[in-house]
Amino acid sequence: MNSNIELRDKVRERYAASAVNTSGCCGAGNCGPDATLDTDLTAGTYTESELSALPSKAVEASLGCGNPTAVAELSEGDRVLDLGSGGGIDVLLSAKRVGPTGFVYGLDMTDEMLDLARRNAADAGTTNVEFLKGYIEEIPLANDDLDVVISNCVINLSVDKPAVFAEIHRVLRPGGRVGISDIVAQDWLTLPQRAERGDWVGCIAGALSYEEYQQGLEAVGFEQVTLTPTHAVADGMDSVIIRAIKAS
């Protein structure tokens, strides 16, 4: 079997299991993509007021490494896409910020996560959202359709990151914004050294370096690319806020 297909299947299996066993994770702010890491990958980036306003199952299913909704500069009326939306925590938070005139899509490849996210949206009474099944390398939305793309510790899981960057650029309108939380390797770390620190499905082995991330976004046409580390998750590995703008 193609190694990329095998990796994608392993990722799907891991997060499908998380969706049906949310109590097996420590919950937002305590574990993260890889509970074997002796660190809090989210570093408490969700506030108590944010978490208390959400269904508990959405909070328990959070497997991110940050809070992209806090850095994406969402405004009333924005159309937003969350790549790898999981149980829906960032979709639901974004929906509150864009208000009734805005709309938020969540994209995930895992049926179990999509089912969970739709239940969470119903429990929250949130109607300005839609959860789509698909791959982040093949986004099922039209060109120039969105104001903002967010993602929380998911792009590092992709087996084709250039395709992800190209798709993000395609679906954003001119002037559209990127607000991503992701795991990024410091530039001195080789690929084998990244793999020594954690596996692919744990969001470590597949992480890009700072230079690779910036060059990948710029290669497809993004401008004003910035990568800001927020906290360390392993030796030479950081949780990072990535921002970029599609040229007008």
118-142 pLDDT tens trace: 999 999 999 999 999 999 999 999 9
Q: If pLDDT is split at 50, 70 and 90, which confidence band does 213 have?
A: very high
- Rounded to an integer, what distance in angstroms lies between the CA atom of residue 175 and that of residue 238? 28
CA 73 to chain CA centroid, nearest Å: 16
Say what the pLDDT of residue 28 is: 32
DSSP state of 209: B
Q: What is the pTM assigned to this prediction?
A: 0.82
Token pair of 221 as six digits: 């046409």
Please state the rounded mean pLDDT for residues 202-206: 75
Say what the pLDDT of residue 98 is: 95
Of 97-101, 136-140, 197-201, 242-246, where does mean pLDDT reach its minimum?
197-201
246 vs 46, higher pLDDT: 246
Say what the pLDDT of residue 209 is: 94
Please state the rounded mean pLDDT for residues 151-179: 95
Phi–psi pair at 179, nearest 5 degrees: -135, 105
Question: What ranges in the chain are assigned the alpha helix state H?
Answer: 3-20, 48-52, 56-60, 89-98, 111-124, 161-171, 191-197, 210-219
Token pair of 95 as six digits: 């929906």
Say what the pLDDT of residue 32 is: 41
| pLDDT tens track for 20-45 | 665 333 233 333 434 333 334 444 45
- Rounded to an integer, what distance in angstroms lies between the CA atom of residue 151 and that of residue 72? 10
- Rounded to an integer, what distance in angstroms lies between the CA atom of residue 168 and that of residue 133? 16
- Rounded to an integer, what distance in angstroms lies between the CA atom of residue 147 and that of residue 149? 7
Say what the pLDDT of residue 233 is: 86
Say what the pLDDT of residue 236 is: 92
248 vs 212, higher pLDDT: 212
195 vs 34, higher pLDDT: 195
Say what the pLDDT of residue 71 is: 76
148 vs 62, higher pLDDT: 148
**Looking at the predicted structure, is the pLDDT value of residue 177 above 80?**
yes
100 vs 59, higher pLDDT: 100
What do you get for the CA distance between the two ends of the chain, in Å?
42
- Residue 149 · residue 80 · CB < 8 Å: yes
What domains can be seen in the chain, in order of their start residue?
A: 3-246 (3.40.50.150)
Q: If pLDDT is split at 50, 70 and 90, which confidence band does 92 have?
A: very high
- Residue 216 · residue 189 · CB < 8 Å: no
CA atoms 68, 22, 9, 111: torsion sign: negative
